[in-house]
């Protein structure tokens, strides 16, 4: 089939590339001329494992094309995806300006029957608004008889695993309008996704409004599981339980399952924060209230400060002269996405109290530098107190403690003796529960995860004895910690 995708951002680029990989002929359009030129030259402006190779293969095989001209996308397209940004407004609602602008441009230029697919995450009723805008533009051209359908096909892509999510989906949600236009769209989308449904049917057909709300419901449910486990972790700290054991205990229940039960520093990224707030705003607009989602958001906002609170619990509120190693900057591994990353708030809080930061991330340091310039603009001297280290171990040099912020696999099995001997104090504050508290205690490392303390960390946090004394009592002389 001939397919067009408007928007070469994360969702649009993955959608266009994967459809081309399935054998369709795809034109991806973006108004950013520089971005299009980069893509044409083989440079991918986002980090997603495997995407650059797939783009190169499909452009060489002439199944994937990039353009800045809307007309190019409409000349042959049977299906057109709208995958432009829907950034949050100040009240939390989704800004549909880009979506509706594209709808008007399509209505002004289309010349043949077309299935228009809302791929962007949009609130309930957006398809109807897009349909009205396209219809008005067609009427201005005296082409109101030209048939088209506006449908909802929300994306469920996890950053870092987006290609696999698209090519091996759990489900394909498609919302159709009633009547002949819905029948037209169903036929087209059945053909489009035939490859993905070859072995068993993955498509879940429904009405358009239900499809739009399904996307928000899915993200709100996952966010709620995360916030619930973070609350359990905080309680585990107070009562002396281990949240990892709790996770395994409840995750083995088939009614609950193991996914999204990991405690940590809260969720971030482009989806969960934005979508939970948009869902709350939608409810308010309809005279209702999402009490559980509101609680989920409150818990997450508090949890994003957990590492900063623990730093201050040990070192005090004045961090002048202190230096901290940060492992991980992106909001999750396998991406360079810094949107609402917990590291941003943590860095700001530490700098406000006089600390210095030595940070390492496998792919997100360039993106982090860009966003931190703005985040720290009101702090003197701001970004100059953050050093970006090319090597994780180099970030440890002269640091008072190691803070683990993102669960990159490169951080899963470090040299703990090197960490202990390099840090000025043998303390790891782990925001992702990567390590075994008892193993680290044996090695003379004070360790505090989220809902997972070891005895050395409990004594250190209580101020019972100095960190060096703890290390000496737990390790042989050859493994003494540097002052």
For the chain, the helix, strand and coil percentages under 3-state DSSP, each to the nearest 5: 45, 15, 40
Distance CA 150, CA 338 (A): 32
Among candidate residues 79, 75, 78, 82, the one with its CA nearest the CA of residue 8: 82
Q: Which of 110, 34, 107 is nearest to 73 (CA)?
A: 110
Residue 101 tokens, joined: 């602008």
Q: Is 18 a catalytic residue?
A: no
Length of the chain as a residue count:
483
Give the burial class of 206: count Cβ atoms within 10 A of its Cβ; 0-12 exposed, 13-18 middle, 19 or more buried: middle
CB 382 within 8 A of CB 350: no
DSSP one-letter code for 88 = B
Long-range pairs of 55-63 with CB within 8 A, sequence gap ≥ 24: 55/13, 55/17, 57/21, 58/17, 58/20, 58/21, 58/26, 63/20, 63/21, 63/23, 63/24, 63/25, 63/26
3-state secondary structure of 327: strand
CB atoms within 10 A of CB 316: 11
Q: How would you write 193-219 as a 3-class SS string? A: CCHHHCCCCCEEEEEHHHHHHHHHHHH
Asked if 427 contacts 461 with a C-beta cutoff of 8 angstroms, the reply is no
Task: Check if the beta carbon of residue 119 is closer than 8 Å to that of residue 82.
Answer: yes
Q: How far, rounded to the nearest angstrom, does the alpha carbon of residue 92 sit from its chain's CA centroid?
A: 17
DSSP 135-168: HHHHHHTT-TTS-EEEEE----PPTTSHHHHHHS
Which one from 103, 271, 346, 401 is the annotated catalytic residue? 271
Let me know the angle formed at the C-alpha of 122 by 121 and 123, rounded to the nearest 5 degrees: 135
Catalytic residue set:
271
């Amino acid at each position: 089939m001939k397919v067009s995708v408007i928007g070469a951002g994360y969702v649009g680029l993955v959608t266009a590339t994967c459809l081309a990989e399935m054998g369709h002929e795809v034109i991806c359009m973006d108004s950013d001329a520089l971005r299009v030129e980069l893509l044409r030259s083989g440079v991918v402006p986002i980090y997603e494992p495997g995407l650059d190779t797939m783009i190169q293969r499909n452009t060489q095989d002439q199944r994937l094309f990039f353009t800045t001209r809307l007309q190019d996308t409409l000349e042959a397209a049977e299906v057109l995806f709208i995958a432009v940004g829907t950034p949050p407004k100040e009240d939390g609602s989704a800004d549909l300006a880009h979506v509706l602008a594209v709808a008007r441009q399509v209505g002004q230029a289309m010349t043949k029957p077309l299935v228009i697919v809302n791929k962007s995450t949009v609130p309930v009723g957006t398809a109807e608004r897009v349909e009205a805008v396209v219809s008005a533009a067609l009427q201005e051209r005296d082409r109101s008889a030209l048939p088209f359908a506006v449908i909802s096909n929300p994306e469920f892509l996890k950053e870092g695993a987006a290609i696999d999510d698209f090519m091996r989906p759990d489900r394909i949600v498609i919302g159709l309008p009633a009547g002949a236009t819905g029948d037209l769209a169903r036929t087209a989308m059945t053909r489009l996704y035939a490859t993905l449904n070859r072995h068993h049917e993955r498509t879940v057909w429904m009405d358009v409004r239900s499809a739009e709300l399904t996307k928000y419901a899915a993200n709100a449910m996952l966010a709620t599981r995360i916030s619930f486990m973070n609350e359990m972790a905080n309680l585990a700290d107070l009562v002396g339980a281990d949240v990892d054991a709790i996770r395994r205990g409840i995750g083995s229940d088939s009614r609950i399952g193991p996914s999204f039960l990991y405690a940590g520093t809260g969720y971030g990224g482009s989806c969960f924060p934005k979508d939970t707030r948009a869902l709350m705003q939608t409810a308010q607009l309809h005279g209702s209230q999402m009490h559980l989602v509101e609680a989920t958001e409150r818990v997450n906002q508090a949890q994003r400060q957990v590492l900063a609170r623990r730093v201050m619990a040990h070192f005090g509120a004045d961090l002048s002269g202190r230096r901290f190693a940060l492992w991980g900057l992106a909001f999750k591994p396998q991406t360079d996405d810094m949107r609402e990353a917990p590291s941003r708030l943590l860095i700001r809080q530490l700098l406000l109290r006089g600390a210095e930061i030595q940070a390492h991330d496998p792919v997100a340091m360039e993106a982090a530098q860009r966003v931190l310039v703005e985040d720290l603009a009101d702090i003197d001297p701001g970004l100059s107190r953050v050093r970006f280290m090319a090597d994780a171990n180099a970030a440890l040099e002269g640091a008072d403690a190691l803070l683990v912020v993102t669960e990159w696999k490169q951080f899963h099995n470090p040299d703990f003796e090197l960490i202990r001997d390099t840090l000025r104090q043998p303390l790891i504050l782990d925001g992702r529960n990567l390590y075994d508290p008892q193993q680290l205690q044996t090695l003379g490392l004070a360790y505090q995860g989220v809902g997972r303390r070891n005895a050395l960390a409990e004594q250190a946090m209580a101020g019972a004895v100095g960190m060096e004394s703890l290390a000496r009592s737990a390790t042989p002389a050859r493994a003494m910690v540097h002052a």
